[in-house]
Amino acid sequence: MMSESLTQLLVRQEQARQAWQAKQNVDLYVTVGMGTCGLAAGAADALPVIEQEIRGRNLKAVITKVGCVGMCSYEPQIELQARGRPRMNYGQATAANISEIFASYFEGSPLKKAVLVGEVQPSLTRRNGQSLSSLSFRAPETGEAIPFQSKQLRIVLSNCGLIDPESIDDYLALDGYEALRKSLTQLTPEEVIDEITRSGLRGRGGGGFPTGVKWGLARKTPRWPKYVICNGDEGDPGAFMDRSILEGDPHSVIEGMIIAGYAIGARYGYIYCRAEYPLAIRRLRIALDQARQLGLLGEHIMGTDFSFDLFIKEGAGAFVCGEETALMASVQGERGQPWPRPPYPAVSGVWGQPSNVNNVKSYAYVPRIVRMGAEWFKSLGTPGSPGTAIFALTGMVNRTGLIEVPMGITLREIIYDVGGGIPLGRKFKAVQTGGPLGGCLPEAHLDTPVDFDSLVSAGAVMGSGGMIVADETTCMVEFAKYFMRFTCDESCGKCPPCRIGSTRLLEILERITAGEGEPEDLNRIRYIAQGMQRGSLCALGQLAPSPVLSSLRHFEDEFRAHIEEKRCPAGKCRALITYEIVADLCTGCMVCGRSCPSKAISGEKRQPHVINPDLCERCGLCREVCKFDAIIVR
Partner 1 sequence: MAEAPAIDLSLMEEVFAQYEGQPGALIPVLQKTQEIYNYLPGEALQLISERLGIALGKIYGVATFYAQFYLERRGKHVLKVCDGTACHVKGTPVLLTALEEEFGIKPGETTADGQLTVEVIYCFGSCALAPVAVLDGQVMGRMRQEMLLRRVKKQLEADGRQGTTMARSDE
Write out the residues near partner 1 by the rule CB under 8 A. Answer: 36-37, 39-41, 72-73, 75, 234-240, 243, 275-277, 313-319, 330-337, 351, 392, 394-396, 400-401, 432, 435, 466, 468, 470, 474, 482-483, 486, 489-490, 492, 594-595, 597, 619-621, 624-625
Residue placing its CB nearer to partner 1 in the complex, 212 or 434: 434
DSSP state of 554: H
Strand partners, 29: 62, 81
Residue placing its CB nearer to partner 1 in the complex, 61 or 537: 537
Residue placing its CB nearer to partner 1 in the complex, 276 or 443: 276
Residue placing its CB nearer to partner 1 in the complex, 179 or 281: 281
Residue placing its CB nearer to partner 1 in the complex, 106 or 416: 416
Residue placing its CB nearer to partner 1 in the complex, 22 or 275: 275
DSSP state of 414: I
Residue placing its CB nearer to partner 1 in the complex, 4 or 624: 624
Cα 91 to Cα 137, 550, 597: the distances in Å are 13, 37, 38
Smallest distance from partner 1 to CB 335, Å: 4
- Which distant-in-sequence residues (6+ apart) come within 8 Å of 633 by Cβ? 571, 577, 578, 579, 580, 623
CA distance 365 to 387: 9
Are the CB atoms for 558 and 475 separated by under 8 Å?
A: yes
Smallest distance from partner 1 to CB 282, Å: 13
Smallest distance from partner 1 to CB 276, Å: 6
Alpha carbon distance, N-terminus to C-terminus of the chain: 80
Reported in sequence order, the residue ranges of 175-331 that DSSP labels E, i.e. its strands, are: 227-232, 268-273, 309-314
Nearest to 373 by CA among 108, 623, 194: 194
Q: Which residue type is seen at 555?
A: F
Pairing of strands 401-406, 78-82: unpaired
Smallest distance from partner 1 to CB 154, Å: 17
Smallest distance from partner 1 to CB 242, Å: 8
CA distance 287 to 289: 5
Are the CB atoms for 320 and 487 separated by under 8 Å?
A: no
Smallest distance from partner 1 to CB 457, Å: 24
Residue placing its CB nearer to partner 1 in the complex, 140 or 225: 225
CA distance 227 to 560: 51
Smallest distance from partner 1 to CB 167, Å: 23
* Residue 528, number of CB atoms within 10 A of its CB: 20
Smallest distance from partner 1 to CB 395, Å: 5
Residue placing its CB nearer to partner 1 in the complex, 301 or 484: 484
Classify burial at 564, counting beta carbons within 10 Å of its beta carbon; exposed 0-12, middle 13-18, buried 19 or more.
exposed
Smallest distance from partner 1 to CB 11, Å: 35
Classify burial at 123, counting beta carbons within 10 Å of its beta carbon; exposed 0-12, middle 13-18, buried 19 or more.
middle
